[in-house]
Amino acid sequence: AQSVTQLDSQVPVFEEAPVELRCNYSSSVSVYLFWYVQYPNQGLQLLLKYLSGSTLVKGINGFEAEFNKSQTSFHLRKPSVHISDTAEYFCAVRTGYSSASKIIFGSGTRLSIRP
């Protein structure tokens, strides 16, 4: 069975500083990995996804993530954060290639940006 662990429930950083949000997964089959962002009172928005190919995936808003199969990780990074990046970030694994496959979410990391 698949599962997702987000090691940090909250990450405070100063504006313009770099940030890394950690995510580890467990799966006995091929994995398809995602990062979603949830702004206050809004639904989830896809930041980036890894289905296959290059292990470094670039997403929207300057975020990127690296798939590391040996460490079963998919950490999210941004070199310089902005106040507008304040949100909750969810790492997720999809149980299959098809969009109909179930998505299993981590418990989320709240990113707070200090001016």
Residue-wise DSSP of 91-102: EEEESSSSTTS-
Contact characters 79-108, another protein, x per CB under 8 A? -----------x-x----xxxx-xxxxxxx
Regarding 111 and contact with another protein (CB under 8 A), the answer is no
Q: Which of 25, 32, 63, 74 binds another protein (CB under 8 A)?
A: 32
Regarding 49 and contact with another protein (CB under 8 A), the answer is yes
Distance separating alpha carbons of residues 24 and 22, to the nearest angstrom: 7
Q: Which stretch binds another protein (CB under 8 A): 19-27, 36-44, 62-70, 75-83?
A: 36-44
How many chain residues bind another protein (CB under 8 A)?
A: 26
Output the furthest CA–CA distance in the chain (Å, rounded).
42
Contact 36, 90 (CB under 8 A): yes
Q: Decide the pairing of beta strands 10-14 and 109-114.
A: parallel
Q: Tell the smallest beta-carbon distance from residue 61 to another protein (Å).
A: 16
Neighbours of 87 (CB within 10 A): 21
Chain positions contacting another protein, by CB under 8 A: 4, 9, 32, 34, 36, 41-46, 49, 51, 90, 92, 97-100, 102-108
